[in-house]
Amino acid sequence: MNTINLQIDADGIAILTIDVTGRSMNVLTPEFIDELDQAIDDVARNDSVKGAVVTSGKDSFCAGADLIEVAAVLDPAGDNAVLIARSRGLQGIYRKLETCGKPFAVAINGTALGGGLELCLACHYRVAGNSAKTKLGLPEVRVGLLPGAGGTQRLPRMIGIEAALPLLLQGTHLAPEQAAELGIIDALVEPGREVEAARQWLLEHGNAEQPWDRKGFRVPGGAGLMHPKATQTQMFGVALLQKTTNHNYPAPIAIMSAVYEGSVLPIDKALEIETRHFVSLLRDPVSRNMIRTLFVNKNAADKLSRRPKDVARSKVGKLGILGAGMMGAGIAYVSARAGMQVVLLDTSKEKAEAGKDYSRKLAQKGIDRGRVTPESAAGMLESITTTDDYADLDGCELVIEAVFEDRELKAEVTAKTEGIISDDAILASNTSTLPITGLAEASRKPARFIGIHFFSPVDKMPLVEVILGQQTSDVATARSLDYIQQIRKTPIVVNDSRSFYTSRVFATFTREGMMMLAEGVKPALIENVAKYAGMPVGPLAVTDEVTLELVYEIGKQARKDLGDSYVASAADAVLDTMVEQLDRRGKRFGCGFYDYPDDGKKRLWSGLGAHFPLAAEQPTPDEVRKRLLYVQAIDAARCLEEGVLTHPADADIGSVFGWGFPAHTGGTLSFVETVGLGPFVKEADRLAEAYGPRFGVPSGLRTMAKNGETFYGRA
């Protein structure tokens, strides 16, 4: 066998060691599934075998299904009988394992997730090594699916519905101690002793019957709509789902249904229920969208799929940061955490030290939560040098400029930095709006100048946008991507333009919200519909967060740069009113579109109606939702057509991880594909006629719709 090594020892114990060749972690490939099926038969038919231990030949036990292969069968129009048969295949093998008459114990020597943990649940006894690196969980809900190999049925039967539902609905990862406390793990042992403990159980006990196969079995804690506790759990669960998903995500609802329907049936019938719900999710575009963007595309980006291939790999040992404000301080922290020596420079030593305080606070928080030791935190802080002297940048392989969005200031710090660093060093700007090609004019070496755009707060936001100027070299691109991988962020690569991709398209969302406010749409309707559609917060609230002042200043700079070609809108008038006339500049200043009282509960400013009177006739929630989502998707399509983007995956990753475009859509361009290019163009034309040319689709999208093409089909 190529994926399972089966050995029978002198005591009649079969050891099944999973070791999927060519993979860093074990995954449930078709070959492995076939060989597991054969191995179970071999164990069951061999009279000399008393029982079997399932373990792994790798550091981790099993990471579950290969989602790239799952994505290949995600066809909403696919044959239902074929999908059911495929889905029941692994489920049937696990069921055969637990009913074959021979006891199976599993020795979990590392992380077990998804279908890997479902294999463990099907075994009759579970031993895990007590290691901080080991995680156990059923995370399928995070990619729009449910555990389809018995997880929704075995876990509730093992630990009860009340304990199982949070794990299934949230995809929670458990440490071995937590799993043991819940009853998922039967024995915790020192790492390395897992197989020995599993063998011992087989020799001393070796029970080959699962509790749910015994006559009279009842789900712990009760089940069924007539059971008071189970009914209460269901009621609270449904209410929580409505609050957290706004019915945009079908997987949690399917999980709830599978658990409650299956828990009152015999296990074999319950598994049929699970398959029915699993296949319904496979046929839903949400699962395709989430798997493609959150897993397949993100993994490719994390592996630097856009990196120039002919440039040698590199690592940053010493990093310079210009500006110790919120962004510079965050970049310093994530870089020092990754093991770099960091020089944090500002106009005074005091300002640089204030920036380092951000790292001190995060380090202390890590100590308080037990995530880092005081020694490692101290070492990280020692690696950050604060200074106001440019000479300290000597030896930096990469310098990131994170000063205020002012072209003259950026040119000044660029000149000072290039007087110190070597000709081989890379200079990057963290600008969020100013074109890189223009900033590179202040550089003596524009080929080594690039944009590296972080998102706030840097320590939490996973995305980094790399912007290529007209003269940026492959070396600068490759080394910047290597650095982003070093700090464990996800990069997208875009070409230069004003505001690039993320800031540009995100601005369409906030501006559309302000334009609706100017039209007299109720502020609460704008904000609530945005959140119901799946955006993290409404356009007015997020403008408050980034500050109206900053958005106003960016607009002023754009007007100055573009001159007569600048197209003003009602959003500009709203900003002028809020900033110039009313001095309501955003959350940081204590007031904006919202009030921020001392009790901490923000609320929309009651004075908005006086300055932006409500219209007599209000739009429907669906109309507001379409305006907010379509305006972003249309501009993303423009970015692809203009060459700002070179691949739809960057559009989707950037929108979901950069500013929180609804994950269930898969991102801006997957949203268009889900609607269908033809229907999308037709609806956009209606919106353009009603609200203006910003809803006009680019000609390339219109042509694709006529030809029946898709973005990913072309890519």
Between 225 and 390, where is the model more confident?
390
Handedness of CA 546, 547, 553, 559 (dihedral sign): positive
**pLDDT above 60 (res 226):** no
Strand ranges inside 156-306, DSSP E: 173-174, 187-189
Residue 640: count of CB within 10 angstroms of its CB: 24
Rounded Cα distance between 438 and 2, Å, is 56
pLDDT of res. 72: 65
Cα dihedral 264, 268, 269, 271, rounded to 10, equals 90
Cβ(523)–Cβ(593) below 8 Å: yes
Rounded Cα distance between 270 and 258, Å, is 8
Domain 503-643+647-714 matching CATH 3.40.50.970: the answer reads no
Parallel, antiparallel, or unpaired: how do β-strands 4-8 and 13-18 relate? antiparallel
Mean pLDDT of 527-535: 96
Please, which pLDDT band fits residue 561 given cuts at 50, 70 and 90? confident
The DSSP letter of residue 576 is I
406: which DSSP letter?
-
Using alpha carbons only, give the angle 576, 580, 581 rounded to the nearest 5 degrees: 95
Mean of per-residue pLDDT scores for the chain: 93
What percent of the chain is modeled with pLDDT above 90?
82
Rg for the chain, CA atoms, rounded: 28
Residue 366 has pLDDT above 60, yes or no: yes
User: Per-residue b/e over 209-235, b at no fewer than 16 CB within 10 Å?
Assistant: ebebeeeeeebbbbbeeebeebeebbe
| Greatest alpha-carbon span in the chain | 88
DSSP E strands in 190-329: the ranges are 318-322
Please give the angle made by the CA atoms of 676, 677 and 679, to the nearest 5 degrees: 70
Lowest-confidence region among 41-45, 61-65, 514-518: 61-65
pLDDT the model gives residue 544:
95
pLDDT of the residue at 433: 84
Q: Which residues of 120-136 are buried (b: 16+ CB within 10 A; e: fewer)?
A: bbbbbbbbbbbbeebbb
Using CA atoms, how far apart are residues 487 and 28, in angstroms rounded to an integer?
Answer: 30
Evaluated on CA atoms 597, 602, 608, 613, the torsion sign reads: negative
Q: In the CATH hierarchy, which fold is given to the domain comprising 318-497?
A: Rossmann fold (3.40.50)
Tell me: pLDDT of 193 over 70.
yes
Going by pLDDT thresholds of 50, 70 and 90, the confidence category of residue 77 is low
Mean of the pLDDT values across residues 99-123?
A: 96
Sheet containing strand 136-137, edge to edge, reads 112-113, 136-137, 173-174
Higher-pLDDT residue of 462 and 556 is 462
What does the alpha-carbon distance between residue 163 and residue 233 come to, in Å, rounded to a whole number? 10
Chain-centre distance for alpha carbon 302 = 12
247 catalytic? Reply is no
What is the DSSP-derived secondary structure letter of residue 564? G
In this prediction, residues 146-150 reach a mean pLDDT of 94
- CA-to-CA distance for 626 and 530, rounded, in angstroms? 10
Q: How many residues does the chain have?
A: 715
Give me the pLDDT at residue 557, please.
80
DSSP 24: S
The CATH code for residues 4-283 is: 3.90.226.10
Which residues contact residue 132 at a Cβ distance below 8 angstroms, ignoring those fewer than 6 apart?
175
* Beta pairing class for 398-401 and 384-387: unpaired
pLDDT for 108 beyond 90: yes
Q: Would you give the DSSP letter of residue 405?
A: S
Whether 297 contacts 653, CB under 8 Å: yes
Residue 225 has pLDDT above 60, yes or no: no
Residue 392: predicted pLDDT: 97
Q: What is the pLDDT of residue 241?
A: 67
Beta strands in 112-198 (DSSP E): 112-113, 125-129, 136-137, 173-174, 187-189
What per-residue confidence (pLDDT) applies to 82? 73
| Confidence class for position 74, pLDDT limits 50, 70, 90 | low
- The pLDDT score that the predictor gives to residue 78 is 63
Q: State whether residue 284 is helix, strand or coil.
A: coil
Q: Taking residues 24-30, what's their average pLDDT?
A: 90
Q: Dump pLDDT digits (tens) for 635-673.
A: 999 999 999 999 999 999 999 999 999 999 999 999 999
Distance set, CA 93 to CA 37, 118, 274 (Å): 6, 11, 15
What are the phi and psi torsion angles at 5 (to 5°)? Answer: -105, 115
C-alpha 568/C-alpha 579 separation (Å) is 17
Encode pLDDT of 471-501 as tens digits: 999 999 999 999 999 999 999 999 998 889 9
Average pLDDT over residues 538-554: 92
In 3D space, the residue among 122, 133, 164 whose CA is nearest the CA of residue 146 turns out to be 164
Domain boundaries, the chain: 4-283, 318-497, 503-643+647-714
pLDDT at 84: 80
- Chain centre to alpha carbon of residue 300: 13
Most confidently modeled range among 77-81, 214-218, 505-509: 505-509
Contact predicate 105/123, CB 8 Å: yes
First to last CA, the chain: 37
pLDDT digit string, tens, across residues 409-427:
999 999 999 999 999 999 9
Identify any residues that bridge with 454 across adjacent strands, giving them in sequence order.
464
Contact 112, 136 (CB under 8 A): yes
Q: Which of 124, 277, 453, 647 is catalytic?
A: 453
Res. 230 pLDDT band, cuts 50 70 90: low
Measure the CA–CA gap between 370 and 381, rounded to whole angstroms.
17
Neighbours of 444 (CB within 10 A): 12
